[in-house]
Amino acid sequence: MKMNNRRNLLIYRMWAPIYDRVSGRFMCPGRSRAMAVLNLQPGDRVLLVGVGTGADLPLLPPGVSAVGVDLSIHMLDKARRKLPIVDREIHLVQGDAQELLVEEGAFDAVIFNLILSVIPDGKTCLRENLRALKPGGRAVVFDKFLPDNRPLTIWRRILNFGTALFGTDITRRFSDLVSDESGIELLLDEPSILRGTYRVKLIAKSPT
């Protein structure tokens, strides 16, 4: 089953009231590690792709400015309740992360936490948000991916019909998402929760 914006809006309208309670503590170690390896500095401008209920917002270090984008107004309503946060300038915007209305190279860093496996077109999402990353900037990914050395079995495809009903795709490989990208370097790829089913990846964009 393919993800699409219409279905995702319905799914995350239902998820919004319970999302933090259901996944907050479970996902926190991965989110925290992603923020640590991104190593944001005071003055950095950061883009949070699929900001959702704003679980990453309290993890932002003092002195940064951030823009959080999400398709779901219901998830954004939950995120707004976490604001303001002292010494952080944070703006939340409803929008499609596959088609950002931002200038090229506008951000020092991009956070892709739990978005590339749920957005309809992960490759387009990655490309569009890396466009918004300035030369020499960095991006972090915390998400689940099918390893390159593991085949996409018929059983996983069948299981994916079920997981898609909850708003996530378990058949995506990160290597497929970046296959057409040039000028980026994978600096870190480490296992995270669920024995490495989820991973934390740090990407750098070429300075030129």
Q: Which of 193, 199, 197 is closest to 23 using CA atoms?
A: 193
Assign domain 5-205 to a CATH class: alpha beta
Determine the Cα–Cα distance for residues 115 and 122; give it in Å rounded to an integer.
8
The residue written with tokens 């925290």 in the block is 32
Over the chain (208 residues), the average pLDDT of each successive run of 10 is 84 93 93 98 97 97 98 97 97 95 94 96 95 97 93 87 83 94 94 94 94
Domain range annotation of the chain: 5-205
Verify cis geometry, omega within 30 degrees of 0, for the bond prior to 42. Answer: no
Q: What confidence score (pLDDT) does residue 4 get?
A: 87
- Please give the torsion angle defined by the CA atoms of residues 200, 115, 135 and 58, in that order, rounded to the nearest 10 degrees: -70
Q: What confidence score (pLDDT) does residue 95 get?
A: 95
E strands in 83-197: 89-94, 107-113, 133-144, 184-191
Q: What confidence score (pLDDT) does residue 151 get?
A: 86
Q: Is this structure's pTM higher than 0.85?
A: yes
Q: What confidence score (pLDDT) does residue 124 get?
A: 95
Q: What confidence score (pLDDT) does residue 34 get?
A: 98
